[in-house]
Amino acid sequence: MRLETFALERFQSIWENRVAWNVAESGVQPLRVSELIAGPANHDALLELDLGYPQTNGTVELRETIAGMYPGATPEHVQVTNGGSEANCILLMHLIEPGDEIVFLTPNYMQASGLAKGLGATVRPWRLRESQGKWAVDAAELRTLVTPKTRAILLCNPNNPTGARLDAATLDEICRVASTVGAWVVDDEIYRGAEREADDTPTVWGLYERAIVSSGLSKAYGLPGLRIG
């Protein structure tokens, strides 16, 4: 598989840990271990943990907790990975075959676009457009981008980097369009829960039988070093 250079990630790898102030940081100020493990009982329990191989797909207790965030989900619906990037990677490697097409909401985190191309898919951008200080998508445009070869529609909601949020009606329409060709709707929801105003952004989970959510602890939870996706 031939992968194009992930230019933004490469730039960050070179420079982001060499500067005093990183004004391009994409997450909140991370927690310290002492803030996460409050109280002597939790502190002692942490020090007593075995550093062996954990359950590969996540412990039952962890997957039950995650499933509880999504109505109707069970632990069998949940796969725990080493960060959200690995979740997206495994998902695309499972879904995409050479000759497939994906519709890719953009701007977005570019990992998925590069991987899809490397796996032999054609990437069809679906652009958020700015008007009067707001970013929005055009559902009519989506219908022109979807073809019988469309394997997946890839979203990021809340969006990185604009902060735009797709409402429930828009998500419903995206799922209806996907259903016309049997495409999957893959929603990167790692910023969900980090909203500073209004309610949580709607999830695509439960709207469509081929809807998949990827998320993790890196953004809204301020725990990127735990590498949980």
The helix-helix angle for 111-118 and 84-95 (nearest 10°) equals 30
Report if residue 16 sits inside a domain. Answer: no
User: Is position 217 within any domain?
Assistant: yes
Q: How many angstroms separate the CA atoms of 155 and 145, rounded? A: 14
pLDDT in tens, the chain (229 residues): 888 888 888 988 899 889 988 888 888 889 999 999 988 999 999 999 999 998 999 999 999 999 999 999 999 999 999 999 999 999 999 999 999 999 999 999 999 999 999 999 999 999 999 988 899 999 999 999 999 999 999 999 999 999 999 999 999 999 999 999 999 999 999 999 998 877 889 999 999 999 999 999 999 999 999 999 9
| Structural domain harbouring 44 | 22-52+83-226
Ranges of beta strands (E only) in the chain are: 101-106, 122-127, 129-131, 134-136, 150-156, 184-188, 211-214
In a domain, 171, yes or no: yes
| CATH number, domain containing residue 139 | 3.40.640.10
Q: How many domains is the chain built from?
A: 1
Contact between 143 and 177 (Cβ < 8 Å): yes
> Is 144 part of a structural domain of the chain?
yes
The answer to whether residue 142 is domain-embedded is yes
Tokens 């194009």, residue located: 4
pTM value surpassing 0.95: no
In a domain, 12, yes or no: no
Q: Whole-angstrom Cα distance, residue 62 to residue 125?
A: 35
Could you tell me the two tokens for 158?
Answer: 């809340």
